[in-house]
Amino acid sequence: MNRPIDTRSALAATGSIGAVTASGICRIAYLDGVRLNRALCAGIERVVAERSYLNKINVFPVPDGDTGTNLALTFSSIGQRLSTLETDHAGQLLIAVADAALDGARGNSGAILAQFFQGLADTLGDLRHVLPAAFARAMETSNEYARTALGSPKEGTILSVIQDVSKEISHQQTVHGRDFVPILEAGLATAQTSLEATRNGLEQMRRANVVDAGAKGFVVMLEGIVRFLHHGSLDTVPDAIVPPDDDLEEQGDVYDVGTVEHRYCTECMLTGEAIDRRKLRESLSAIGSSLVVAGTRRKTKIHIHVDDPEQAFEIAGRYGVVSKQKADDMLQQAQAVRDGSPRVAIVTDSGADLPECAYEDLGIHIVPARIHFGERSYLDKIGLSADEFFQELKTNPHHPTTSQPAPGDFRRTYEFLASHFDDVVSISLLGEISGTLQAAESAAQRVDGTGRITVVDSRTLSVGQGLIAMYAAECAAAGYTGEQVVAAARQAITRTMVFGVIPDLTYTVRGGRVRPAYKRVADLLRIAMIVKLSGCGQIRAAGAISKKKNPVGAFARYVTRKADPTKTYRLAIGYAQNPELARELEQALQQAIGSVESIHIVELGAAIGVHGGPGTLAVAAQEYIAPTDQGNRQTDPDSVHQPE
C-alpha cells in the first residue's frame, strides 16, 4: 500500500494530466483508473491510520468500540484488490472496488460504505473516464443506495454526511464545470461541517460529546483523497489526527453496556440468481436492529444486530446461499473497553470449553470455529449450542466435520482488541490436531494495531484449554504484563492434564478415529474407553473401564491416581447430555482428591463431542497456583510463579 507516488509526474506519464494553475495545483478534468486507484489508496491509508481513534469515539449504533477496526478491515479489502489491479478504465476499477468492499465489509459503517461504492459502480461502470458531471450524478445515486440499504435510516450519522456531500458536489459541479479539485475541496469542507453537526444529533453522541465514528471515517477517507489530488504525494502515511481533549473527556459515559439492544453483531454473505432484497429486508427487520442489506441481486451482504444469529442465517438462507457467517458479541466488546479493564486481553477459540462466567467475569473473547453437517454450516456455540449439536449429531445422516476459524475471523478480533489493549494473548487449540493455531498465527502477523499479539499453543483442548485460558485471564486481571501473562500461561500448560471416557465408540468410528473392530470388541465386553492427552499434544487410548459397575467411580479413581496428593488442583468436568453423571463425578473427585481449589462443570463442545458423542465425560486437572496481585508493577516475566 505504501507506494511513493508523485501525482503530477505520475499522471503526466499516463497522458491524463490537466492544466496547472498559477499556484502549481493541478486542474483535473477527469478521473481515469490510474487516478482513482491512487486517490482511493490515499483515502485508505488515512482511515487505517486513524482506526484506534475511530474505535474510541464509537457510540452508535452500539458502544462496542470497533468502528475503526471494521472500517480498517473493509478498506483493507479494497486496498488489497487495488494493489493487484492495473487498469486505466475508471468504471472497471469502481466495479472491482465495489465487489471488494462487499466482500470485506465489516460492521454497520462498513456495510453502508460498501453500498455507497456499489452506487458509484452501477452509475459509472461503463465509463473509461469520469467527468465531474457524471461523478456528481453518481454521488446522488450512492446517497440513495446507502439510505435504502438500511432498515431504519438515522439522521445525524454517516448517512447525513454522505447526503450533504452529494448535494454540495452537485452544486459545485455547476459552478466549476470540468475541474475536480475545487469540487472535491468544497465537498470536503461541507463534509467536515456536517460531521461536526453529528456531535449534537443523536442522544448517544450528545451524551458522549463525540462525532459519529462512521461519519468520521467517511470524512477521513475524503481528506486522504483530496490531499492526494491537491498535494500529489503518497511518500508517507499520514499521521493520525490527535483528537481534541473535549472529544475524550467524557469517555466514562461512552461505553454504557445498557445501550446494547441486541447482543450479536451478525453478518453473512448471500449469493443467488435474483435475490429479493426488499422481502429479505422485511423478513430480517422483524428480528433485530441496525439492519443493512448491501450489494446486488446476485451478491448481498447482510449486517444485523440480533440475539439469535442462527435465526438470521436461517432467514437469509430462504433467499440464497449463505456463506461467510460471523457473529460478534457486542456486550462483551462493550464491557472489554470500559475504564478499569485489564491492559491484557485474552482470546481463545471455541475449541475451549469454559464455564459461562469465564466469558463475562474474566472477559475472555471467543473466536468460533465452524461445524458442518453436510452442506449446512454453523458457528460453533453461537449458531449451534452444545445441546443442539449433540441432538443434530444423533439425528443427522451426515457425520459432522469441523473447520478452524478463518484467519480473517481471528484478525477481526485481534484488530479490535489491539486498538484497546496493550497486549493480546491468544490461547489456541493444540496445533497437532487442527489448523487453528496456524490460522491464529497468520492473522496475528497481519495486524497493525498498537497492542502486541502473542499466540500460545495450549497443547490441549476442551476443558483443558478452557482452564488455561481462565488462568491467563486471572493473571491479566491481577495486573500481569503481557509477557508475564504469556509466561504464566505456558507454565499452566505444563500443569494441566486432560482425560476423557467414551462409553460408545459409534461416533469415534464414524469420524475415522477408531477401527470398527474395536467398537465390536468394546460392545461385546461392555467397556468404555479412557483417553488422555499426552505431553506432546496427542490424544491416546489410556485404558478401559467396565460399564457394568459404577463407571463414574472407576473414572474418578483413574483421574485421582494421576494427581499428586500434596498439591492443590482446579478441576473442570465436561459432559455431553449427561449432566447427572457430571455431578456424580464432581462428588467423587471432591472426595478423592485431597485439595481442590474449585470445580467447574461445563457442556462439551464439538472439539471432543464430534468424536466422543453423547455420553462422553472429560476432566481437566490443573495444579493451581493463585496469581499474585501484581498491581501496576512492571516485573520480569520470570518472576511469575513457577511449578514446584
Q: What is the pLDDT of residue 217?
A: 96
* pLDDT confidence band for 499 (50 / 70 / 90): very high
**pLDDT tens digits for 433-447?**
788 999 999 999 888
Residue 190 has pLDDT above 70, yes or no: yes
Residue 373 has pLDDT above 60, yes or no: yes
Q: Which of 227-241, 346-360, 450-464 has the lowest mean pLDDT?
A: 227-241
Closest-CA residue to 145 (of 117, 173, 178, 107): 117
Residue pair 88/33 in contact (Cβ under 8 Å)? The answer is yes
Q: What is the pLDDT of residue 536?
A: 62
Residue pair 498/429 in contact (Cβ under 8 Å)? The answer is no
Residue 125 has pLDDT above 90, yes or no: yes
Closest-CA residue to 147 (of 158, 134, 136): 158
10 Å Cβ neighbour count for 248? 15
Residue 250 has pLDDT above 80, yes or no: no
Residue pair 160/196 in contact (Cβ under 8 Å)? The answer is no
Residue 57 CA to residue 63 CA, distance in Å, equals 9
Residue 111 CA to residue 293 CA, distance in Å, equals 8
Report the SS3 class of residue 287: coil
Q: Which of 244-253, 321-330, 588-597 has the lowest mean pLDDT?
A: 244-253
Four-residue CA torsion sign, 183, 185, 188, 189? negative
Task: Please name each of the domains of the chain with its CATH number.
Answer: 7-244 (1.25.40.340), 257-441 (3.40.50.10170), 496-623 (3.30.1180.10)
Residue 583 CA to residue 588 CA, distance in Å, equals 9
**pLDDT tens digits for 57-109?**
998 888 878 899 899 989 999 999 999 998 999 999 999 999 999 998 988 89
- Summarize the confidence of residues 524-553 as an average pLDDT: 84
Residue 30 has pLDDT above 70, yes or no: yes
Q: What's phi and psi for 24, nearest 5 deg? A: 90, 5
What's the mean pLDDT when you consider all of the chain?
86
Q: What is the pLDDT of residue 511?
A: 77
Residue 173 CA to residue 232 CA, distance in Å, equals 22
Helices 107-124, 158-176: inter-axial angle, 10-degree rounding:
30
Residue 13 has pLDDT above 90, yes or no: no
- Summarize the confidence of residues 38-48 as an average pLDDT: 93
Residue 501 has pLDDT above 70, yes or no: yes
Q: Which residues of 531-562 are buried (b: 16+ CB within 10 A; e: fewer)?
A: bbbeeebebeebebbebeeebbebbbebbbee
Closest-CA residue to 293 (of 433, 153, 395, 185): 153
Residue 449 has pLDDT above 80, yes or no: no
* pLDDT confidence band for 3 (50 / 70 / 90): very low
* CA distances in angstroms from 484 to 365, 425, 428, 522, 577, listed in the order given: 19, 10, 18, 46, 38
* pLDDT confidence band for 232 (50 / 70 / 90): low
Residue 284 has pLDDT above 80, yes or no: yes
Q: What is the pLDDT of residue 324?
A: 87
Residue, of 197 and 236, whose pLDDT is higher: 197
Q: What is the pLDDT of residue 252?
A: 38
Q: Read off the amino acid at residue 499.
A: F
Q: What is the pLDDT of residue 241?
A: 46
Q: Where are the alpha helices (DSSP H) in 512-605?
A: 516-525, 551-562, 579-592
* pLDDT confidence band for 493 (50 / 70 / 90): very high
Q: What is the pLDDT of residue 341?
A: 63
Give the position of cell 467414551. Answer: 502
Q: What is the pLDDT of residue 315?
A: 95
Closest-CA residue to 573 (of 563, 559, 562): 559
* pLDDT confidence band for 266 (50 / 70 / 90): very high
Q: What is the pLDDT of residue 20?
A: 47
Q: Which of 171-175, 246-250, 337-341, 605-609 has the highest mean pLDDT?
A: 171-175
